[in-house]
C-alpha cells in the first residue's frame, strides 16, 4: 500500500492535497485495491458548491459501487474528465492521473483538522 507523506487522509479512504486555497481529492491506493478493477467514475459538475462530508460522486468497480466523500466544503474548480474514458487510472495511478476533483476552499477551514497524516492513515489501515 502506497501512502504519501505530503497528503492528508480520511477515514473513508480519500486523499487530499492542499495547495493554498486549492485542494485536490482522490481515493487512496488502499481503497482502489479493496475495490478491485474500477469500471466507472461519476463526478459532479464544475462550479458546484459542496458542503463538508458531502457525497461528490460514485465509483463503480467489478465488486461494488461506492460513494466518494469530500471532507472539506468549497467550490468544484475542475473534475478529472480523463476518468470518463479511462476509469482504470484510479487503479494504476490513484495519486497522480487518477485524481478526481479540485476544489477551492478557505484554508482556515476547521474541517482540515480532522484529516489524518500519512502515519495516522497507515495505522488506521492496519486496523481495518
Chain segment 2-61, per-residue pLDDT in tens = 999 999 999 999 999 988 889 999 999 999 999 999 999 999 999 999 988 899 999 999
Residues 81 and 41: beta-carbon distance below 8 Å: no
Q: How many CB atoms lie within 10 A of CB 69?
A: 19
Q: Which domains does the chain have, with CATH numbers?
A: 8-105 (2.40.50.100)
* Residue carrying the nine cell digits 467514475: 41
pLDDT of residue 114: 82
Going by the DSSP 8-state scheme, the letter that residue 116 receives in this structure is B
Grid cell 468544484 is found at 76
pTM across the whole model: 0.92
Residues 60, 41: contact at Cβ < 8 Å?
yes
Q: Where are the beta strands (DSSP E) in 34-104?
A: 38-42, 49-50, 54-61, 65-70, 74-79, 101-104
Amino acid at each position: 500500500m502506497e501512502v504519501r507523506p505530503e497528503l492528508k487522509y480520511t477515514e473513508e479512504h480519500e486523499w487530499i492535497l492542499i495547495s493554498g486555497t486549492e485542494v485536490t481529492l482522490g481515493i487512496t491506493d488502499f481503497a482502489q485495491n479493496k475495490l478491485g478493477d474500477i469500471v466507472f467514475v461519476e463526478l459532479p459538475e464544475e462550479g458546484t458548491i459542496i458542503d463538508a462530508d458531502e457525497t461528490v460522486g460514485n465509483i463503480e468497480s467489478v465488486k461494488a459501487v461506492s460513494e466518494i466523500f469530500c471532507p472539506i466544503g468549497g467550490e468544484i474548480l475542475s473534475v478529472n474528465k480523463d476518468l470518463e474514458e479511462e476509469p482504470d487510472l484510479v487503479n494504476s495511478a490513484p495519486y497522480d492521473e487518477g485524481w478526481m476533483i479540485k476544489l477551492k476552499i478557505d484554508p482556515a477551514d476547521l474541517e482540515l483538522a480532522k484529516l489524518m497524516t500519512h502515519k495516522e492513515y497507515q495505522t488506521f489501515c492496519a486496523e481495518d
